[in-house]
Chain A
């Protein structure tokens, strides 16, 4: 039974699925539920844009490889994916998960796939941030007396 998910929730899970390491996603979701491919996995690029000065006018920085895919479940629910890189299985799995998350299978997938992915991503981010924090410089300044 398809639901209409909150756009923010869908936005968030599409992002989690896209950013997941393909092998990890495949490990959490080994079997693919029956589906038809509306758009078979297709490799292409997205032009990444930046802004002059970080905040100013947009400019084209360069492209990145992406793979996109759209699938449909038997109940008619459609799922989309656009993931970084050239892994077609990743794109198909992410699209399928997007579709299933909009159905009654959602909560199960949320707990079994999204939660572990979120957890792993947060852990990886925290580990990297901790390493960076370890290289943060702690200055101490000598008192020279000129302010007295």
Chain B
């Protein structure tokens, strides 16, 4: 029954993220001593250690933080926007459009900047398509948005299958890595963190409104929330963050679905806490998953999307059962 006060949960999550960052910087095939990490982190020199930390592990860790936080936040938004606990960042087809862009680029032999650019174009196209179709009706309802998004996703799925089956075996490998999500190729830029902070801030200003929107649009409107404007803003924020993450690391699954639920199940339901907590836990979770992805079968790398599912599924199922046990179980009535 007793749950941790949200403030302490948040402090705990900050430490979890710090720990995850340190583990991520520490782990890898080349051993960098623990005290050396701090030394080269704050005063880089020409050593091999500096190169490994600054050029390889740090960018990858930062990418994991960005992707994890953005996916978790998009998940929170989508679940409120669609008032559907099954919603995740990819439900409206952003990842599908992006994947078609990326896979087309791969099959044409492109890589690097061309790959990310075409993934971005695909994501934007998909966002505009879904929004354009869903907004055509007189009322822009979340049901309509959900159905449009799911159907557009299915369409992209078909195109992806065509691209996969018509490609040569050598390109299919990199296509599959992209589809499952992989941080190996991600190019972190200086604008990623400001974007994340901006999104976090905007969401935080709307946290109370999100609390009411989660209980239904009509209730939110009676409490003075400008629901239309809020819906549009949420859709755009989620789309921007999902697209950013997908372009960085492909469609890393599961983070956006389970992180918000894990936190809700552990008692953080107020969005004023849920938003920062999701960003922190999403970042920590993906950072750790990526550590495992690159060390588990080293020197071979696994797509991080596989690890998020492998770790996420058991944790999630455990939490779900544990929580239900106390909520509707025999001891759950009128206890206080």
A binds B: no
